Amino acid sequence: MQKVIWVHDDAPEAHKEVLHASMQSLVEDEGFLSQSEEILENYDPLIGEPLQDRIDAMLDMSPDTLDWVRTFLLDHYDVDVNRL
């Protein structure tokens, strides 16, 4: 999951509904799906509950996993996330 459209919680509900309906239409469009394979890198587009489930899982990392990511970024890319 790497291309997500984030919407502020305080966005007008009507606008959120229009965006959701537009995305639903887009992911059902065979032309879009066939033309977007390279850009989406063969990931299936997600919206609604399946997307929220993935986001929740991504944000619910164990302390051990977070420590591993911090160490990996520091050791391999000289990125200290504590300084960001």
The answer on pLDDT for 2 being more than 80 is: no
Cβ-count burial 48-72 (b if 16+ within 10 Å, e if not): eeeeeeeeeeeeeeeeeeeeeeeee
* pLDDT recorded at residue 36: 87
Considering only residues 3 and 20, tell me which one the structure prediction assigns the higher pLDDT.
20
Give me the pLDDT at residue 1, please.
Answer: 59
Reported as a single tens digit per residue, the pLDDT across 8-39 is 999 999 999 999 999 999 999 999 988 888 88
Name the residue with higher pLDDT: 2 or 13. 13
What would the pLDDT profile of 32-75 be if each residue is shown by its tens digit? Answer: 988 888 888 888 889 989 999 999 998 899 999 999 999 999 99
Which stretch of DSSP H or E encloses residue 81?
Answer: none
